[in-house]
Structure 1
Amino acid sequence: MVKGNFFRGLGYLGEGFRLIRQPGLRLFVMIPLLLNILLFGALFYLLAEFFGVLIASAMGMLPDWAWLQSLDWLFWILYGVVILLMLAYGFVIIANLIGSPFYGYLSELTEKHLTGQEVSTEGGWGQIVRDIPRALGREIQKILYYLPRALGLLILGLIPVVNLVAAALWFAFNCWMMALQYVDYPADNHRVSFKSLKLNLQDTRLTALGFGLPVALGAMVPVLNLFVVPAAVCGATAYWVRETSGQPALK
């Protein structure tokens, strides 16, 4: 039986957007936000024409069946959704590689705010610098988890008819990855291993998918996705505080 509360999970991103406006958290939202704006501009420029070429190539693989060719508009939509999901999470991967030390510290400050502790940024820059190697290593772990599964789904997405199912699987997988991606920040602050985090989220999979759904949707919307990243960090920290209390923080 799948456990958790999908609708409760949906609310955490909205809470994250409220949290990023808190005075003690704004600075560590603005710096990675500026980095993401530069990154998004570069990615948009590089991928603008690649998108059209990839779609045309995928459509050229369809067999010359009359009934199948009549559904070409549907395949355009399906391939477009799959590629958009890939680009959305690709943006998240790169943005988090660049901003991971900031996001770890933002998560720590958010947790202090939520638990009623004093939010102080004294010594924050030194901690961010010290955490860079560990934060980058953690991001690489998530990328290594993501890539083989993404490759398998991409192959399925290139098979006509089968891609009808692949698009749905892609979206569900992206929702799951968004939950893993962002709840990992507070988990890492508590020295919970990535493996233990996956087990924790699997125990309440519906709640995790509920949190990941609006994050995945927001990541696909240009400009909005710039703000979704820090809001997701804060929302994921609220998720951690409320959903994993009492969970063993074991390596």
Structure 2
Amino acid sequence: MRDFGVGFRYLLRGQKWVGGHGRRLGFGLLPGLVTLVLYIGALVGLGYGADDLTAWATPFADDWTSPWQGLFRGALTGLVFAFGLFLAVITFTAVTLLVGQPFYESLSEEVDRSEGGEAPESGLPLWRELWISARDSLRIVLRVAFYGVLLFACGFIPVVGQTVVPAIGFCVSGFFLTEELTAVALQRRRVELKERLGLLRGRRMAALGFGVPLTLAFLVPFVAVFLMPGAVAGATLMARDLCGETAGDGADDDAEEDDRNPSSVVENRM
């Protein structure tokens, strides 16, 4: 559980960093606002059309008597909207990062410089970076959609579907949300998607500690817009840790002890 706390502290440090750089916060809000308007429109449309979609998909229930037809289709409508919301949460970051690629790249580079040293550069032209980002985001969305379908089906299991499945869903969303955000810094380091996923699996609890609270916060309207710049900053700090460029957030608390006992650094890394 210590790694979970480390991931959460990276999230807080990112928000604090942006709070101390007001100009970056202002620029970082623009892509999120544009994406939010688009997503609100899509979710409102889904809300109005979910009943018709459910009725169209369940013609076998047309002859059911009341209240069974209403209960059955009502439950399905709720699941459809929940699935749409699930996809919205996980794709919001990908779309926002794609829309605001130049903003967030610049923000991430400044975080790297503020931590000391030079900001790594991919050396690729902007169009190539956008293509790689869009391609990798699509791969992540497909993975999430696959898990989403499985969780949607498991949602019909009594009790488990209403308790365990939502918890797993938030963990899945949080893990891939962390991947999307750390990709801003890791792509500049020419770290491919497969390797990025491997790095995060090696620090799974830290990834969840960063992504799950953010996923829950993103469920609140407008919160995602204001947290995105800080999330990118925090993810950059985490990416530095994943690449071994820093001792990690938790190491600050133990720095004095590590100086006295160098072997503890190796033990912490294990």
Instruction: Give the TM-score normalised by the residue count of structure 2.
Output: 0.68
Once the two structures are TM-superposed, the CA of residue 151 in structure 1 deviates from its matched residue by: 2.1
For residues 111-163 of structure 1, what are the alpha-carbon distances to aligned partners after superposition, in whole Å with 9 as ceiling and x for unaligned? 222x23589xxxxxx96566322332232232233222222222222454452
1:155–1:101 distance in 2 versus 1, CA, 3 Å: farther
Contact kept? 2:182, 2:239, Cα under 8 Å: yes
Letter in 2 for 1:49: Y
Alignment of 1:51-200 (within 5 A): 84-113=85-114, 115-117=115-117, 128=126, 131-164=129-162, 165-200=164-199
Candidates 2, 5, 16, aligned match of 2:3? 5
Task: State the distance in 2 between where 1:178 and 1:95 align.
Answer: 12
For residues 38-84 of structure 1, what are the alpha-carbon distances to aligned partners after superposition, in whole Å with 9 as ceiling and x for unaligned? 334433433342467779999xx9999xxxxx9xxx99998876654
1:79–1:167 distance in 2 versus 1, CA, 3 Å: farther
Task: State the distance in 1 between where 2:112 and 2:172 align.
Answer: 27
Letter in 1 for 2:149: L
Once the two structures are TM-superposed, the CA of residue 37 in structure 1 deviates from its matched residue by: 4.2
Once the two structures are TM-superposed, the CA of residue 167 in structure 1 deviates from its matched residue by: 1.7
1:146–1:104 distance in 2 versus 1, CA, 3 Å: farther
- Matched with 1:232 is 231
Contact kept? 1:102, 1:128, Cα under 8 Å: no
1:4–1:200 distance in 2 versus 1, CA, 3 Å: farther
Once the two structures are TM-superposed, the CA of residue 209 in structure 1 deviates from its matched residue by: 0.7
Contact kept? 2:91, 2:141, Cα under 8 Å: no
1:229–1:235 distance in 2 versus 1, CA, 3 Å: same
Task: State the distance in 2 between where 1:175 and 1:162 align.
Answer: 20
- Point out the more displaced range, 36-45 or 197-206: 36-45
Contact kept? 2:175, 2:208, Cα under 8 Å: yes
Task: State the distance in 1 between where 2:14 and 2:78 align.
Answer: 31
1:48–1:79 distance in 2 versus 1, CA, 3 Å: closer
Letter in 2 for 1:203: G
Once the two structures are TM-superposed, the CA of residue 9 in structure 1 deviates from its matched residue by: 0.9
Q: Residue 244 of structure 2: SS of its match in structure 1?
A: coil
Once the two structures are TM-superposed, the CA of residue 90 in structure 1 deviates from its matched residue by: 3.6
- Point out the more displaced range, 27-36 or 174-183: 27-36
1:6–1:91 distance in 2 versus 1, CA, 3 Å: same
Task: State the distance in 2 between where 1:110 and 1:57 align.
Answer: 50
Larger Rg: 2
Q: Residue 100 of structure 2: SS of its match in structure 1?
A: helix
Once the two structures are TM-superposed, the CA of residue 233 in structure 1 deviates from its matched residue by: 1.1
Task: State the distance in 2 between where 1:218 and 1:56 align.
Answer: 32
Contact kept? 1:28, 1:106, Cα under 8 Å: no
1:128–1:144 distance in 2 versus 1, CA, 3 Å: same
Letter in 1 for 2:228: V
Q: How many residues align?
A: 234
Q: Residue 102 of structure 1: SS of its match in structure 2?
A: helix
Which consecutive unaligned segments of at least 5 residues does structure 1 have? 65-69, 120-125
Once the two structures are TM-superposed, the CA of residue 246 in structure 1 deviates from its matched residue by: 5.6
- Matched with 2:268 is none
1:226–1:30 distance in 2 versus 1, CA, 3 Å: closer
- Point out the more displaced range, 94-103 or 8-17: 94-103
